[in-house]
Structure 1
């Protein structure tokens, strides 16, 4: 979905992240709503793999999984929950298989840098996990259940109520799988691959009057991931995660200004078991206390100043890693000016200064503009400087932590072109990212590794999207094909970084006729090198999914899906094969 249609989908939707609709005016954004989420409900990995240009590196189905935007790594991706950056303070990234897509009404995908607004890690792009509070909608609810191959279950129960002043939303979802598939051609059995996770989400909102709203969003998540082993004699391992997130806010609108104050508490607990029958091998607890204020002042009819201030206090306790009890204070000031001189032209400027205890932070900036040339063509441009801060692991791991690290910094430029003709829309976006001081763990002695600012990397490429949408009589057709060409070049070796496909193609289409619906998903990835030598690589692959749905009543839908229809043998990470052809049936009841 390109910029224009992304904006249209946000008009009637108010997210707790009030910046999300603003950045969509110039940035390239894809929005995946509830219907799209239910097409790939198994995991956030599946959702992003088949419905975006983000490359997903999954260490076996359901195991540790990370995204790659425009050739960058998971460390250069920001995960944003309702406007709050939730990247791990230990690793500086997120495991997308520990974020259940059924917990959210919308998953937003923003391409390109965004550190001025979303902070550390927003270099290649950001993934936005959005919840929503509606008003004046009455009672509503959803029951969704899916059963698939390998004893896979995905279930969701959601209830909501709202009147003019009050909004309530509760969501409980559970996923589990024995995950014991085989790939006979490669003599591969996914031993010890089982997983399960449960999430409880609660949202409350109350409007004292039209200009004052209080809200609260919370999430508790618990998961158990077993890591695949390659022979029956290997020791079985597992990874447990418990996450708690709580966000309280106050929105105030008075005359020429709007203010959104957020107070957040984030807690992440993890335990790694090198032997599932013994005590934990390592683990940690990370806590973040956050105060964030977003102040908008209307200078004139067409221009606003936006001041974003944030303070964080981070503390952690490690186990089995040498990390003891590190603490850190962080603060930032962002100032943005937005101007819409006419219906055809919009531009904005942004600047940010971070203050991070223990090291010097870079000055950041952003500039973007959009110009509507005529009824069938518009163009936008984005320029920014972004960064990724060293994490607790980088700084304090013993032995090897390096307290002299400086943040990774990058300069980014992109220019998008959007064309529309009748029911067709075409988007073309070339981009360039120049990164310096990339943090990499390198050997100091044969037994000790340490992180250092060593790499300089250029990322550049081209992304294109062509979509078709048409409704007539009882027919509805939606189709989109996306292509991306990606280069990710280490400036020292002049070679492509590992696990970056040169070419990627995504195709999604759906057809609805009265009570019958069909959808198709296709994904092609070219070869990917598995190390920096450009010698060993994974073969290209093509995967096709297809599904059919039937709605016997207005509120009930039955579905059947075939994943990997062509029975392709493929890997996203070396050694870990993905499932061959598999099936799922589902029931979706709305009331």
Structure 2
């Protein structure tokens, strides 16, 4: 499958100039910090951190809502109860979501419900586009998302209380407590979220009694009730070493949203799904000028309960990681690591002979900077899985600062990376249909990019353009064969695309503004299929829009802030046939006001207004999404 590819990529652009004092250097925000820098050894990879103001504006929402509002990433959702990511045209199983040293994706399903990842519990979000298996392991063919938490090392007590209410019975209650003496600290973050989800929509289901569409309807039996807490205990031994412990307990319950037809003709039908999660990660880190290392261990328990049944769909895993880095000097460094994982499934539909499975990953990384302009990184990873053969995954990247001045930098990047995904437990062991002889999905990613960063006293920002080519062989799919539904490696999928992102900040007197555009053009097609259904070969893959873009503008004047954003999602195929979900444009707005009661007390009031154009639309075929809705929140911070 390893295809040779030549990409000729040329970008001509001019930096934007503005009057005002010129600084000595361009401000460069550190991209992602999640306990470790994930960018130092990955030159040429597209790695971004959601800016603080955008992240704070979504504290009442979940990961799905943040991605849809501010990124070009495609998300397939069902009215806030269930949603999955399609990063660069890949499947939901191809994006890892990381908390500390744990990939929180389900080991049975292979992916996460991003509607159940609350932004309130975290401090930052890092986005890693493109093949990242060499760093994150199995399942990162499309990329990775990192849920970041900061250490504040408070001396005393700080606290926050948050209350939010919105349309369709939406309520959120949250609190954050920070307590310590500067050397140790405890942090408690907790939230409760619920929503009746009884919104109105236009039901397009054909009513044979009327001889026309069913018409105005109300969503029934789609309630949501989630709750979670993250408890941290951190101790700083000295300036070089620290111990962190994080425990995330989550219970997510929702009624499974019924499609339009069922909602109209079976209004009393209710199905429920409850997910229970325990995720614990502890890590000791030691850092000096030349040598640093981290040793961590974790435990994860996941369980899904459908309609309150007693059939177990649960897994436990014990995981550990040791990693060391040595800097030869400021321009050269080497990192080596070992990760271990032992998995214990308890699933009623699995072969009773499956007791546990062991994973071992060994990886090595090297970076080298030359002339303060060129950085080259080399990575290699080998995984070993019980009774399963996993390919070697190397990667190489470079970044080059071609032109720089006191107020601007113009850089170019390139990256080649292999990736893989071990089939899930359901894919291999579910009875009937699982296939223990499946091959790992195997991908290779080529990427080129350029970025212009600019900064003066009153104007700063960047424009970035990336082109990528991702070829995935042994793409896995469940198909309806001679013996019913079964898992098979049947396809080769090719995803190509161009991503444009820009972000501009400027100051006008006492007003500050931020605006940006994120856009992706992403043709994704089946190049080969062995299931005998050739109808969709060469056509855009299902639930991946060819075009998706977001545009936003935010402003602030003293204590008042306001913003507006718009997103466009191109039509999407829903099956092997030609049926599609129509394109849609959604517009949202938010406002906020904060009071400094005194030096230790802050009160913030904010409002979010979504789908201002009151659109009837769908993200999953046959499942309606809410029309215009609002959310009002009050946050009180005190010491």
TM-score after normalising by structure 1: 0.93
- Larger RCO, structures 1/2 (Cα 8 Å, 6+ apart): 2
Answering whether residue 272 of structure 2 is matched by residue 238 of structure 1, we say yes
- Residue in 2 aligned with 1:276? none
What is the deviation of 1:211?
A: 2.1
What is the deviation of 1:541?
A: 0.3
- Residue in 1 aligned with 2:593? 550
Quote the RMSD (CA, aligned, Å): 2.1
Answering whether residue 30 of structure 2 is matched by residue 10 of structure 1, we say yes
Distance 2:306 2:72 in 1: 31
**391, 397, 414: which is aligned to 2:447?**
414
SS in 2 for 1:551: strand
Distance 1:289 1:128 in 2: 20
Distance 1:323 1:583 in 2: 49
Q: Kindly tell me: are residues 72 and 7 of structure 1, through their superposed partners in 2, closer, same or farther at Cα, counting changes over 3 Å?
A: farther
- Residue in 2 aligned with 1:218? 247
Q: Kindly tell me: are residues 287 and 577 of structure 1, through their superposed partners in 2, closer, same or farther at Cα, counting changes over 3 Å?
A: same
Unpaired runs of at least 5, structure 2: 1-24, 205-214, 529-536
- Residue in 1 aligned with 2:290? 256
> Could you tell which deviates more after superposition, 37-46 or 26-35?
26-35
Contact kept? 1:336, 1:348, Cα under 8 Å: yes
- Residue in 1 aligned with 2:473? 436
Answering whether residue 536 of structure 2 is matched by residue 516 of structure 1, we say no
Distance 1:323 1:143 in 2: 48
> Could you tell which deviates more after superposition, 22-31 or 483-492?
22-31
Contact kept? 1:195, 1:225, Cα under 8 Å: yes
**1:60-139 matched pairs, under 5 angstroms:** 60-135=78-153, 138-139=156-157
- Residue in 2 aligned with 1:37? 55
Q: Kindly tell me: are residues 68 and 324 of structure 1, through their superposed partners in 2, closer, same or farther at Cα, counting changes over 3 Å?
A: farther
Describe the superposition over 1:189-225 as per-residue Cα deviations: whole angstroms up to 9, x where unpaired.
3211100111111112112222221110110001111
Contact kept? 1:220, 1:244, Cα under 8 Å: yes
Describe the superposition over 1:105-131 as per-residue Cα deviations: whole angstroms up to 9, x where unpaired.
112111111111101111111111112
What is the deviation of 1:556?
A: 1.2
What is the deviation of 1:9?
A: 3.7
Q: Kindly tell me: are residues 168 and 119 of structure 1, through their superposed partners in 2, closer, same or farther at Cα, counting changes over 3 Å?
A: same
Unpaired runs of at least 5, structure 1: 274-278
TM-score after normalising by structure 2: 0.86
Q: Kindly tell me: are residues 578 and 47 of structure 1, through their superposed partners in 2, closer, same or farther at Cα, counting changes over 3 Å?
A: same
- Residue in 1 aligned with 2:512? 476
- Residue in 2 aligned with 1:560? 607
> Could you tell which deviates more after superposition, 280-289 or 342-351?
280-289
Contact kept? 2:299, 2:317, Cα under 8 Å: yes
Describe the superposition over 1:419-469 as per-residue Cα deviations: whole angstroms up to 9, x where unpaired.
235534211001000000111112222x62111111101000100012210
Describe the superposition over 1:132-155 as per-residue Cα deviations: whole angstroms up to 9, x where unpaired.
212356532222221000010122
Q: Kindly tell me: are residues 14 and 365 of structure 1, through their superposed partners in 2, closer, same or farther at Cα, counting changes over 3 Å?
A: closer
Distance 1:79 1:374 in 2: 35
Contact kept? 1:7, 1:24, Cα under 8 Å: no
Answering whether residue 385 of structure 2 is matched by residue 356 of structure 1, we say yes
SS in 2 for 1:553: strand
- Residue in 1 aligned with 2:423? 390
Q: Kindly tell me: are residues 552 and 173 of structure 1, through their superposed partners in 2, closer, same or farther at Cα, counting changes over 3 Å?
A: same
**183, 190, 198: which is aligned to 1:172?**
190
What is the deviation of 1:320?
A: 5.1
**392, 396, 408: which is aligned to 1:367?**
396
Contact kept? 2:201, 2:624, Cα under 8 Å: yes
Contact kept? 1:133, 1:168, Cα under 8 Å: no
Answering whether residue 613 of structure 2 is matched by residue 584 of structure 1, we say no
Distance 2:522 2:39 in 1: 27
**174, 194, 218: which is aligned to 1:189?**
218
What is the deviation of 1:233?
A: 4.5
What is the deviation of 1:29?
A: 2.5
Q: Kindly tell me: are residues 487 and 7 of structure 1, through their superposed partners in 2, closer, same or farther at Cα, counting changes over 3 Å?
A: farther
What is the deviation of 1:89?
A: 1.1
| Structure with larger Rg | 2
